[in-house]
């Protein structure tokens, strides 16, 4: 069990609407959060973080000077904030708008309107992000697992690597796209492949099919992470031979359970 509790969280709220600020602040207080600071713009948030530490940033999607994706990508590009938990509050559903922030490693997305129990659930996911539980397997020494991570986004690769490392996995190879991934797969043995779906040149489905077409890739577990919502395309992925699908955003607990299910067998 994590030693960190919801009431221990220090949160920075980024919300340009005074009314929405009050609503979110009230929900956070009801959830037991005691320390929350609020700003109205992305630049104010980045300036705040230059001098203050925080456990979680909760942001609206659209801010007066930038959007939440710009803020998160700025944070992920700075070593000081690469692992900072970031939560989005938005009614945005368009794939082109929401996919970049999912790729950047947002911890949770709360749709508007949301209930107090929704934000409490998201806060608990944040706690698991801050203090993840190591993966425990009977058949493997987790530190010896060899994992190939394939994603065309450097931010997403870093985010997935961080989560795997926090679970106790040490041997992680990073591939920048599907073609690079299949090259890496041919150069060494892997116990697990974690791949994105939407990639140029060779997408995740094509990568899975290429791995499954090799004699050394028939039985290797393949976990695909995706923000894809179109049912027809997801169905194609499922039929390609992927072992499990994981929707973005995902928490350390979700990926721990997925890996336990795949590797314990």
Residue range 196-246, pLDDT digits in tens: 988 988 999 999 999 999 999 999 999 998 876 666 666 777 777 899 888
What is the tens place of the pLDDT at every residue in 147-201? 999 999 998 898 899 889 988 999 999 999 999 999 999 999 999 999 998 898 8
Interior angle at CA 167, CA 54 and CA 61, nearest 5? 40
Fold (topology level) of 6-130: Rossmann fold (3.40.50)
**Domains of the chain by residue range:** 6-130, 142-263
Closest CA to 189 of 153, 154, 219, 156: 219
Average pLDDT over residues 54-77: 96
- The per-residue pLDDT for 78 is 92
- The per-residue pLDDT for 3 is 64
- The per-residue pLDDT for 132 is 80
Q: Round the average pLDDT of the chain to a whole number and report it.
A: 89
**Radius of gyration in angstroms for the set of CA atoms belonging to the chain, rounded to a whole number:** 19
Report the alpha-carbon distance of residue 252 to residue 165 in Å, rounded: 10
- The per-residue pLDDT for 1 is 44
Domains 6-130 and 142-263 share a fold: yes
First to last CA, the chain: 25
Report the alpha-carbon distance of residue 48 to residue 45 in Å, rounded: 5
- The per-residue pLDDT for 96 is 86
Share of the chain above pLDDT 70, in %: 96
Average pLDDT over residues 110-120: 86
Report the alpha-carbon distance of residue 131 to residue 166 in Å, rounded: 9
Average pLDDT over residues 248-252: 80
Average pLDDT over residues 26-41: 94
- The per-residue pLDDT for 112 is 85
Closest CA to 17 of 25, 27, 9: 25
Fold (topology level) of 142-263: Rossmann fold (3.40.50)
């Amino acid at each position: 069990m994590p030693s960190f509790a919801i009431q221990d969280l220090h949160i920075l709220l980024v919300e340009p609407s005074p009314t929405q600020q009050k609503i979110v602040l009230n929900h956070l207080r009801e959830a037991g959060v005691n320390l929350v600071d609020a700003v109205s713009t992305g630049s104010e948030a980045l300036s705040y973080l230059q001098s203050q530490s925080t456990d979680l940033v909760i942001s609206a999607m659209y801010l007066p000077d930038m959007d939440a994706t710009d803020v998160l990508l700025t944070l992920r590009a700075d070593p000081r904030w690469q692992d900072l938990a970031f939560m989005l509050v938005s009614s945005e559903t368009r794939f082109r708008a929401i996919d970049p922030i999912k790729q950047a490693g947002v911890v949770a997305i709360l749709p508007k309107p949301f209930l107090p129990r929704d934000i409490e659930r998201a806060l608990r996911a944040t706690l698991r992000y801050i203090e993840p539980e190591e993966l425990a397997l009977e058949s493997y020494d987790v530190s010896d697992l060899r994992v190939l991570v394939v994603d065309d986004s450097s931010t997403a690769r870093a985010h997935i690597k961080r989560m795997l490392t926090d679970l106790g996995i040490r041997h992680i190879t990073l591939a920048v796209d599907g073609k690079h991934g299949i090259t890496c797969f041919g150069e060494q043995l892997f116990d697990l492949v974690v791949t994105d779906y939407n990639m140029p040149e060779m997408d995740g489905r094509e990568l899975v099919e290429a791995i499954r077409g090799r004699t050394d890739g028939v039985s290797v577990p393949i976990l695909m992470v995706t923000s894809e919502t179109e049912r027809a395309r997801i169905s194609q992925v499922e039929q390609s031979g992927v072992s499990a699908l994981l929707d973005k955003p995902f928490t350390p607990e979700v990926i721990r359970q997925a890996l336990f299910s795949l590797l314990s067998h």
